[in-house]
Amino acid sequence: MKKRIQKTILTVLFSSLSSIAFADMQSIAELQRRLEHVAQYSADFEQTVRSSKGQQIQSGRGKFQVKRPNLFRMDINAPQENVIVSDGENLWFYDPFVAQVTVNSVQNAVNGTPFVLLTSSDKQHWTQYEVTQNADTFVLKPKSAKNNLRQFDVQIDQNGLLKGFSTIERDGQTNLYRLRNITTADLSADLFKFSVPKDVEVDDQRRVKK
């Protein structure tokens, strides 16, 4: 009798886990389908940063540009200038205020920079997140406990139009990005090339073991 009960519990548990895994795969496939629907786009964004208590602590604005596969650029104009560029292999973060560039491989950066997923079809990238869908909102949660992010939400309609995205960090701080003035005009590949400015310190993380 005891063995029968244990077998029943294991069967139910396995069935539940299989259902969760299948739902996760379905959500990933649907999100990828929507993201791939639009090959390139450019948009202005407004950023709102809130503390874990919901208090607004910062706001910003800038431009977000994507060209699939694997290319994106984010120019942050306020509160201070920053540039983030993915050239498909490397992820560059330039902070003019401190005259420093940090560069990492896209493969290493995807855990801490989920924006990479908005342009990627690489299965290895997607396996690092659990994905659930609620209408036009997709919730991505990193599987690694070492990730600084707790959650990454993507709002995208069935036609592949990205409306916005947000992150929740481990400490509860949230970053909300709302997109507007979205266009799908052709984007030059040169936008996604980064040249290190003169007299700028380079922090190369590509050889750092994770």
pLDDT per residue as tens digits for the range 37-65: 999 999 999 999 999 999 999 999 999 99
Q: How confident is the model at residue 148 (pLDDT cuts 50, 70, 90)?
A: confident
Res 162 pLDDT > 80: yes
pLDDT at residue 89, rounded to an integer: 92
pLDDT number for residue 71: 93
Structural domains in the chain plus CATH codes: 2-204 (2.50.20.10)
What is the tally of helices (H) and strands (E) in the chain? 3, 12
208 vs 3, 103, 108, 112, CA distance in Å? 50, 11, 10, 15
Mean pLDDT, the chain, integer: 86
Highest mean pLDDT among 2-6, 108-112, 185-189: 185-189
Q: Cα-flanking dihedrals φ and ψ of residue 20, to 5°?
A: -65, -45
The pLDDT value given to residue 1: 56
Amino acid at 82: N
Mean pLDDT of 6-31: 57
Q: What's the confidence (pLDDT) of residue 136?
A: 96
pLDDT score recorded for residue 122: 78
Percentage of residues in the chain having pLDDT higher than 70:
87
Give mean pLDDT, residues 7-28.
Answer: 52
Collapsing DSSP states into helix, strand and coil, what is residue 36?
A: helix
Q: Which helix (H) or strand (E) holds 24?
A: helix 2-37
Provide the pLDDT for residue 115.
Answer: 78
Q: Is the pLDDT of residue 209 over 60?
A: no
Q: What local confidence, expressed as pLDDT, does residue 8 receive?
A: 46
Beta-carbon contacts of residue 152 (< 8 Å; ≥ 6 apart): 114, 117, 129, 139, 140, 141, 142, 165, 166, 167, 168
Q: 115: closest CA among 78, 77, 85?
A: 85
12 vs 207, more confident:
207
pLDDT tens-digit series, residues 71-101? 999 999 988 999 999 999 999 999 999 999 9
Residue 110: is its pLDDT beyond 80? no
